[in-house]
Amino acid sequence: MFAAAAREVVFSQKPVVDSVREHFVPVALKAGLVAQPRSDAEGRFYDQLRRTQPAPQGIAAMSPAGEVIAWALSFDDDASIVAFFDHVRERWAAHDGADPLPTERFRSFPSQKMEDLAFEGGPLPAVTDEGHRKEDGRCRAIRRFREGTLSGRAVGRTFRDGEPWGEPWRQEHYIEDRFELDLDAQAVLAQAAAKATPGEKVIVDELGRALAGNAFLGMLDVLPLGGVPGAKSESSRLEVWIRKIDGREGELEIGGNTDVEASPDAIGKRTDGRRFENHVRLRWRGLIAVDGRRITRLVAVADGRQRLRWGNDGRFALGDRPESAHLPAGHAIDLDSDVRFGLTAEPVTGDELAASPAEETRDAPKGPPPASLRDKMQRLQRAVGAARRAGRNPERVIGELMPRFQPLAESGRFEEAEKVLDEALRRIEAAGDGAGETRPRSGDGPDRSELDEQIEHLEEQKARIEERLRELRRLREERGGR
């Protein structure tokens, strides 16, 4: 887990890569599957990870029998990373198999050892290749979609003076991700195309949202459209259009601009103290092939600029310690760069094609969160603020429900995530429902914590405005000299 930090710091080192390739089977797991494991044989393996994990993230090594040999959240230094994998191998080689191995857990390997946890639950069932496959022989791990769903790839890169730049193993310099467009969005797009007159540019919000929601550098937490835990949309201008191409039946031209920006929301500030801003401005062009209400191919490219800052007051004040010593914290990001993105997608085929609606993968990412989820996040933001102003304390509800919401949203299970938001809204908005205890107040008007919150919010707005003014002045000076 914390996949970006692990990829950037741990699995970018050649000695680590060599050791893992020779002695281990590397597997990247979704946080949602660990937090809410299924009830089948694989789910029991996930459950062992969930039960033993020292935090909802980390690097673990398991035996073929499902014993979690060791967990590590961070490492004392870079050399300790290879030492950790060597330690796991030595511990497993010395094990006589008479009793299950207890799980060793390290806050930092090897200096900060936590309490060991005994193996529980009895022998785990063998996850054989046959057992891993469905009756039709297809692998259970492959995501499946409705016929006609578009699936493809999104790639992004930082550029300087027309050339790629930056370290490609860092998420703020290079990304590869899946890009998907469901049938509902396709139907809206095809309907807009059918009504368009030749040469007419028709803006399609769903297309702009799908493109902008996948074209950004950085982690999911900074999704520029907002709608994920800890992020809210500051502004959203989606002006992506389609136009019929004369003499080319069934082909549409893509063009236009997107300008989206996100920042922390109040709920995020009360979870981990994050501070970030993510502003992405892009110019789009591309082609779409349409057959009736279905898209048979989509190709789009964009170029523009992204300003991404990510940090935490005090979190990154770590002196000269290596990044491997604070993996969960990640690293500060201060990016202001030209960027380019490319997205391609075609209808799913083969094993990714669901045989029936019941077989569709429920935890598959579906691109950016739907508008209904983003609307509910904004509504929850307003409800939390209103509850605090009324003297209630909604943190109990947020603290109870948001840990359930985050893994669902991150794994693309948006319908289930919306149900959690519905419950939070119902409990916070309902008058006299006891959603939070009334806190003492002195006199009328906002209390000290509310004043602090308002001041903090205004200071953040001020910083963004000042940064934007500096950028505009720089542009004015550049253009004045031409």
What the block records as the tokens of 238 is 């989606």
> Considering the entire predicted model, what is its pTM?
0.68
The verdict on 181 and 322 lying in the same domain is yes
The verdict on 81 and 192 lying in the same domain is no
Residue 135 lies in a domain: no
The verdict on 346 and 378 lying in the same domain is no
The average confidence (pLDDT) of the chain is 80
- Cβ density class 342-360: b for 16+ within 10 Å, e for less: bbbbebbeeebbbeeeeee
Which of these ranges, 127-136, 186-195, 220-229, 389-398, has the smallest mean pLDDT? 127-136
Q: Does residue 286 or residue 246 have the better pLDDT?
A: 286
Q: Which residue has the tokens 């890009």?
A: 179
424, containing H or E segment? helix 414-429
Residue 313 lies in a domain: yes
Q: Which residue has the tokens 């030749």?
A: 198
CA distance linking residue 212 with residue 339, whole number of Å: 13
Last-in-domain residue among 113, 141, 159: 113
pLDDT tier, 365 (very low <50, low <70, confident <90, very high otherwise): very low
The verdict on 334 and 216 lying in the same domain is yes
Q: State how many domains the chain has.
A: 4
CA distance linking residue 157 with residue 171, whole number of Å: 9
The type of residue at 439 is R
The verdict on 184 and 308 lying in the same domain is yes
Q: Does residue 368 or residue 70 have the better pLDDT?
A: 70
Residue 120 lies in a domain: no
What the block records as the tokens of 124 is 């785990």
Last-in-domain residue among 59, 84, 113: 113
Q: How far is CA 116 from CA 51, 81, 93, 328, in A?
A: 12, 20, 19, 21
Residue 122 lies in a domain: no
Q: Which residue has the tokens 């936590």?
A: 114
The verdict on 35 and 76 lying in the same domain is yes
Residues 6+ apart with CB under 8 A from 12: 169
Identify the domain containing residue 412 by its residue range: 373-429
Q: Given this model, what pLDDT does residue 50 score?
A: 87
Q: Name the β-bridge partners of 72.
A: 59, 106
Last-in-domain residue among 364, 395, 420: 364
- Residues 459-469 have a mean pLDDT of 67
pLDDT tier, 68 (very low <50, low <70, confident <90, very high otherwise): very high
The verdict on 49 and 180 lying in the same domain is no
Residue 128 lies in a domain: no
The verdict on 105 and 234 lying in the same domain is no
What digits encode the pLDDT tens for the residues 380-416? 877 887 887 777 777 777 777 776 777 677 666 778 8
The verdict on 210 and 287 lying in the same domain is yes
Residue 143 lies in a domain: no
The verdict on 412 and 385 lying in the same domain is yes
Residue 254 reports pLDDT greater than 90: yes
The verdict on 99 and 157 lying in the same domain is no
Residue 434 lies in a domain: no
The verdict on 186 and 102 lying in the same domain is no
Residue 126 lies in a domain: no
CA distance linking residue 28 with residue 59, whole number of Å: 10
